[in-house]
Amino acid sequence: MTTSYRTVYAFAREMHPKTVKHDIQYGTAGFRTKASNLGYIMYRMGLLAVLRSRYKQGIIGVMITASHNPECDNGVKLIDPHGEMMEQSWEELATKVANVQDDELEQTIRDIVQDYNIDMSIRVNILIGKDTRPSSPSLAKSVIDGVLALSGKPIDFGIVTTPQMHYFVKCRNTQNEYGVATEEGYYTKLVSAFKKLRGDKYNNKNYENRILYDGANGVGAKKIKYFQERLGECLKIVLYNDAGIGTGKLNHLCGADYVKSQQLFPTGVPSEPNQRCASVDGDADRIVFYYNDENDKFHLLDGDRIATLVASYLKEIVSETGLDLNLGLVQTAYANGASTDYITESLKVPVACVSTGVKYLHHKALEFDIGVYFEANGHGTVTFSKNAKDKLNQAAKGNILTESQQQAASKLLALIDVINETVGDAIADLLLVETILHAKGWNIQDWEQTYTDLPNKLLKVTVQDRNVITTKDAERQCVTPNGLQEEINDLVKKYKRGRSFVRPSGTEDIVRVYAEASTKEECDKLAAQVAQKVYDLAGGIGNPPLIA
């Protein structure tokens, strides 16, 4: 079979013409913008997926989603054969392919084929998935046209969560060694591991097996039903926010991003005092936990909390196995300072800090035998090295260890199957957290009491060009504009436990300001003062930020 390039331009011209003049960039989470501007981008990403697939000689995934954005937005990202986000060096190619004129498209494709020495005769499969946005089906059709134009074979998985797509891609590329590449395979893997760990004692000490679940009116609401069916009485998941497709309610006043960024209880979930609740985001790759106390005060347990809970539990089991496995935790600068102190000082687990964005966290985590990573926003998972899995498998089978060590090894192996190692997975993370709370006999208050978060604040500043801000040291230090870091240092010094950093957003045309300090008042003040410095030194536009 040889691929003809003839259709590339013809399809573009007749069916998917470029409709937007300005360039759009493949950012931290792929392309993301108004759905109405994305048709030609989708077509072109279908083309690129085929090139990437032939280049890597593996199956590539394409996920159509705009995560926690409003319903009118959409987006697309490519998934590499290991189930990870597409390698960074290809992001530039994606940007190029997305932005050339229609009549330059064919040549651009030919150039990539030549530069990367791609064998265009290889037969390839491209897996396509989408969230519940009303625009997703027609955008999926555009991706399919792109795949067909270069003679790839599209396989449509329909409406699925982002982490399900990552899982399918990995399963397919490992000939189902990682799991069976179907929705059923995914549910079976997670649910059987969960049930095995839980046993027949559904409650334990302070732990009660009931959780209120906010599905953000998205795919997370649809897919949790398969878990409800399979888990039954073992874990009672009570679903809220499951509005129909196209009602405009996706992520509206609910979902993980809303709860985390607004620090508010979502709409549509009843407030029962001290009841554990969880919210996922629009494509179910983030989760946060929370509750209202008897005085109706809101308490949030975010990604940092999940990270510490998971790391502490893994540390316990690893030591029970007696095996020599190195465990590490990866965070970003957004991690609450109190969580970092708790992890290093109390848990004595090494912490690495990397730049914002899942790909950075994931890659760093792979350096450990067991790498736990979470962003404060609730995106995260755990990765296990081959070395760790081999040692555990041997330990669980062989007679080298004591019986209790052997049992711990089996428990850890089951825990690995509750985890989606490819990417942060809200539902898998929910099952993991429930497993740990159950094992510890904890309610959500017990979990919260492990340490006290420092008050923190996020602000946005609009500037002429956000790229004038450059950073180093995992975004904790600002390099340009000149003098800004010194100003931040001077401000931070004035506050007890003060910490602040600024970085250009990778998903919005703004600069983000983060601050934390020992009291809420001080923290708000520090954030506002730093925001003002950004406005003054980095070309702020519009109204200056308000100083509290």
Cα separation, 464 vs 153, in Å, equals 44
From the list Mg ion, ligand 16G, none, partner contacted by residue 91 (C-beta under 5 to 8 A by kind): none
Which residues contact residue 490 at a Cβ distance below 8 angstroms, ignoring those fewer than 6 apart? none
**Using the 8-state DSSP alphabet, how is residue 68 labeled?**
T
Judged by beta carbon distances under 5 to 8 A according to partner kind, the member of Mg ion, ligand 16G, none in contact with residue 283 is Mg ion
- Choose between 78 and 491: whose C-beta lies nearer to Mg ion: 78
Tell me the DSSP string of 98-120.
Answer: HHS-HHHHHHHHHHHHHHTT--T
Compute the distance between CA of residue 440 and CA of residue 313 in angstroms, rounded to an integer: 9
Token pair in block for residue 372: 């736990």
**283 is known to lie in a ligand binding site:** yes
Task: Say how many residues make up the chain.
Answer: 548
- Which of the residues 149 through 168 are near ligand 16G (CB under 6 A)? none
Name the β-bridge partners of 207: 204
As beta bridge partners, residue 353 has 331
Q: What are phi and psi of 277, to 5 degrees?
A: -130, 160
Binder of ligand 16G out of 315, 379, 438, 525 (CB under 6 A): 379
β-strand pairing of 511-516 with 456-461:
antiparallel
Separation of alpha carbons 11 and 99, rounded Å? 16
29 is in the binding site of which of ligand 16G, Mg ion, none (Cβ under 5 to 8 A by kind)?
ligand 16G
Considering the complex, state which of residue 214 and residue 285 has its C-beta at the smaller distance from Mg ion: 285
Q: Check residue 356 for interaction with ligand 16G (CB under 6 A).
A: yes
Q: Which residue among 269, 358, 432, 454 contacts ligand 16G (CB under 6 A)?
A: 358
Nearest to 74, CA basis, from 288, 284, 282: 282
Nearer to Mg ion by Cβ, of 284 and 463: the residue is: 284
Six-digit token pair at 110?
Answer: 């030919």
Q: How many Å apart are CA 461 and CA 480, to the nearest integer?
A: 16
Smallest gap from Cβ 210 to ligand 16G, in A, equals 30
Q: Residue 448 binds which entry of ligand 16G, Mg ion, none, with Cβ cut-offs from 5 to 8 Å by kind? A: none
* Residue 151 assigned as binding residue: no
Tell me: does residue 318 bind ligand 16G (CB under 6 A): no
Which of Mg ion, ligand 16G, none is residue 351 near (CB under 5 to 8 Å by kind)? none
Q: Which does 141 bind (CB under 5 to 8 A by kind): ligand 16G, Mg ion, none?
A: none
Position of minimal CB gap to Mg ion: 67
Amino acid at residue number 247 = T
First CA to last CA distance, the chain: 67
User: Contact with ligand 16G (CB under 6 A): which of 357, 371, 380, 498?
Assistant: 357
Pick the catalytic residue: 53, 67, 135, 142? 67
Pick from 375, 425, 429, 448 the residue near ligand 16G by CB under 6 A.
375
| Stretch near ligand 16G under the rule CB under 6 A, chosen from 141-149, 356-364, 400-408, 428-436 | 356-364
Binding to ligand 16G (CB under 6 A) within 480-539 occurs at: 505-508, 512
C-beta closer to ligand 16G: residue 375 or 516: 375
> Does residue 377 belong to the site contacting ligand 16G (CB under 6 A)?
yes
Is 385 known to be catalytic? no
Grouping H, G, I as helix, E, B as strand and the rest as coil, residue 273 is coil
Out of ligand 16G, Mg ion, none, what residue 281 binds, judged by CB under 5 to 8 A for its kind, is Mg ion
- Residues 132 and 159: beta-carbon distance below 8 Å: yes
Which spans of this chain sit near Mg ion (rule: CB under 5 A)?
67, 281, 283, 285
Q: Between the CA of residue 226 and those of 42, 230, 239, 283, 426, what are the distances in Å?
A: 30, 6, 12, 16, 14
Residue 28 near ligand 16G by CB under 6 A: yes
3 scored as a contact of ligand 16G (CB under 6 A)? no
For residues 141 and 305, which CB has a smaller minimum distance to ligand 16G in the complex? 305
- Whole-Å CA distances, 85 to 3, 140, 265: 27, 19, 31
Integer Cα distance of 321 and 399 in angstroms: 13
Least distance in Å: CB of 52 to ligand 16G? 17
Distance between CA 363 and CA 108 in Å, rounded? Answer: 30
Fill in the amino acid letter for 50. V
Binding positions: 67, 281, 283, 285, 375-377, 503-507, 512
Residue ranges binding ligand 16G (CB under 6 A): 28-29, 356-358, 375, 377, 379, 505-508, 512
Q: Catalytic site residues? A: 67
